[in-house]
Amino acid sequence: MALRKPSRLPQTALIKQILKRCSSLGKKQGYDDVPKGHFVVYVGENRSRYIVPISFLSRPEFQTLLHQAEEEYGFDHDKGLTIPCEEEVFESLTSMLR
């Protein structure tokens, strides 16, 4: 079992940081189609864009994806929140969370 480096921020602070970053990225890139209470993630090899509800952030299944994204890409970049997951898997997971 691999040991992970503990996150420097508590979970609540990390989620707030992600939300702030996602909402500001959408404004910078001119996305007006993101409804309030949602944010954008990019998934898969082609970086397909998905709009997901903020409520997903509190779900353990989605938090696992966020931890994977943090480990693989980090959260300190300007290309949006990218989830390292195949699109089919992401769609299956999010359909179960709705």
Q: Is the pLDDT of residue 15 over 70?
A: no
For the chain, the domains span 31-97
* Measured distance CA(72)–CA(49) in Å, rounded: 18
Residue type present at position 59: R
Once rounded to an integer, what is the mean pLDDT over residues 15-27?
Answer: 58
> What's the pLDDT band for 19 if we cut at 50, 70, 90?
low
pLDDT of res. 14:
61
Q: Is the pLDDT of residue 1 over 80?
A: no
Read out DSSP for 12-33? HHHHHHHHHHHHHHHHHTT---
**CA angle 84-89-91, nearest 5°?**
105
Of the ranges 29-33, 45-49, 84-88, 91-95, which one carries the lowest mean pLDDT score? 29-33
- Alpha carbon 98 to its chain centroid, in Å, reads 16
* Measured distance CA(28)–CA(2) in Å, rounded: 37
pLDDT of res. 95:
92
